[in-house]
Amino acid sequence: MQKSRKRLITMLSGCAMIAAVGFMPSSPAQADPDIDTVQKRVDHLYHQAEQAQERYNDAKLELRQLQGDLDSLQADQDRQDAAFDEVRGQVQDSIIRQYEGEALSTVGQVVVSDDPQSFLAQLSTMSAFNDLQSQLFDKYATAADELGIRQTATQKRAAEVAATEKKLADEKAIVDKKLAEAKAVLGDLKDKEREEMLSRGVVRVPSDVPASGRAAAAVQYAMAQVGKAYVYGAAGPNAFDCSGLTMMAWAQAGVGLPHSSSAQYGTGPHIAEADLQPGDLVFYYSPISHVGMYIGNGMIVNAENPSAGVKVTSLHAMPYVGAVRPG
């Protein structure tokens, strides 16, 4: 009897547990990310793309410099080639004038060599060497050395150009990849949520910015671009990236700036935040990968990202690094 009661209690306890489990709420499915999370993800992807774009811009400036160096070296080498051929001809003529017959045929075999160092080595072993004009021989040797130096320098620059072109291709691929990822994240949002996210951070555009001097022309141009699209690598007239906007704005004031935010950071005196004036360039992130233009009252105009385009925002909307006054 006692054993039967124990079995009954055990069965009832088991049923109670089963019932409890049956009525326990199942774990909720993973909730969709909220707008703030998506905003941070998209902003991060845009920033990664912008960093790659600025490295791309820097590499383009480097490539331009390298290509100019290569062109100059190639021109020097061409001139040295001509000078070498002239000296080589003088040496050959000098030998021919001194020797005839069998000796001449031996000389002829030597002077046909196109390699400067081989010709020089062969020439130094000839019996004719002791009779050559020493000044003429030295002139030839010097010309051969100079030609070799220029050939080596040209080859080195050509290799650097090829490496920089490879770097450009790699950075462009990163830009395209990160932009595609950001578009995919945005594409997963509903239209209403996307509009809410993109509308955040909108600041009223001031109707008048009190700039003076050459800065006035730069500010006026930059403010006129508000609302236009952000496109990586663009410098107007219908779309800009961050350094493209500031470059074109200051070009209206006759000031040339490179198409690179990090390069623009070195184009003028650095200005303390307390001394900022409209037209000053303000820089963000470390390493520097974004630039905007200060317009007063703690605000900037900048080409922000592909979602925001050219817009007015607060000075400290991004990690602030410093400022420069162009011109």
- The answer to whether residue 140 sits within a structural domain is yes
Split into its structural domains, the chain has a count of 2
Number of residues assigned to the chain: 327
Residues 182 and 285 in one domain: no
Residues 44 and 182 in one domain: yes
Residues 212 and 306 in one domain: yes
Question: Could you tell me which residue, 199 or 180, shows the higher pLDDT?
Answer: 180
Residues 129 and 220 in one domain: no
Q: What is the pLDDT at residue 301?
A: 97
Domain containing 228 — which CATH number? 3.90.1720.10
- The answer to whether residue 198 sits within a structural domain is no
Of 157, 187, 217, the domain-final residue? 187
Question: Could you tell me which residue, 101 or 165, shows the higher pLDDT?
Answer: 165
Residues 175 and 209 in one domain: no
Domain that holds residue 116: 35-187
Is the Cα dihedral 80, 81, 84, 86 positive or negative?
Answer: negative
The whole-angstrom separation of Cα 261 and Cα 285 is: 11
Residues 176 and 207 in one domain: no
Residues 154 and 283 in one domain: no
Residues 247 and 308 in one domain: yes
Rounded to 5 degrees, φ, ψ at 70 are: -65, -40
Rounded to 5 degrees, φ, ψ at 290 are: -150, 145
pLDDT at 281 over 50: yes
Q: What is the pLDDT at residue 222?
A: 96
Q: Which of 119, 126, 123, 122 is nearest to 147 (CA)?
A: 119
Q: How confident is the model at residue 177 (pLDDT cuts 50, 70, 90)?
A: confident
Q: What is the pLDDT at residue 111?
A: 46
- The answer to whether residue 16 sits within a structural domain is no
Question: Could you tell me which residue, 33 or 210, shows the higher pLDDT?
Answer: 210
- The answer to whether residue 193 sits within a structural domain is no
Summary mean pLDDT of the chain:
75
Under 8 Å CB-to-CB from 198, ≥6 apart: which residues?
Answer: 307, 308
Residues 179 and 125 in one domain: yes
Q: Which long-range contacts (CB under 8 A, 24 or more apart) does 31-35 make?
A: 35/193, 35/196, 35/197
Rounded to 5 degrees, φ, ψ at 72 are: -65, -45
Q: What is the pLDDT at residue 50?
A: 82
Under 8 Å CB-to-CB from 170, ≥6 apart: which residues?
Answer: none
pLDDT (tens digit per residue) in 205-216: 676 788 888 999
Q: How confident is the model at residue 228 (pLDDT cuts 50, 70, 90)?
A: very high
Q: What is the pLDDT at residue 27?
A: 42
Q: How confident is the model at residue 159 (pLDDT cuts 50, 70, 90)?
A: confident
Question: Could you tell me which residue, 265 or 196, shows the higher pLDDT?
Answer: 265
- E strand residue ranges, 83-197: none
Residues 293 and 155 in one domain: no
- The answer to whether residue 1 sits within a structural domain is no
pLDDT at 6 over 70: no
- If DSSP codes are grouped into helix, strand and coil, which group holds residue 262? helix
The whole-angstrom separation of Cα 156 and Cα 70 is: 9
Residues 177 and 216 in one domain: no
pLDDT at 315 over 90: yes
Residues 250 and 183 in one domain: no
- The answer to whether residue 25 sits within a structural domain is no
Burial (Cβ within 10 Å: 0-12, 13-18, ≥19) of residue 43: middle
Of 129, 161, 187, the domain-final residue? 187
- If DSSP codes are grouped into helix, strand and coil, which group holds residue 248? helix
Omega within 30 of 0 (cis) for the link into 33: no
- The answer to whether residue 14 sits within a structural domain is no
Helix (H) or strand (E) holding 281: strand 281-284
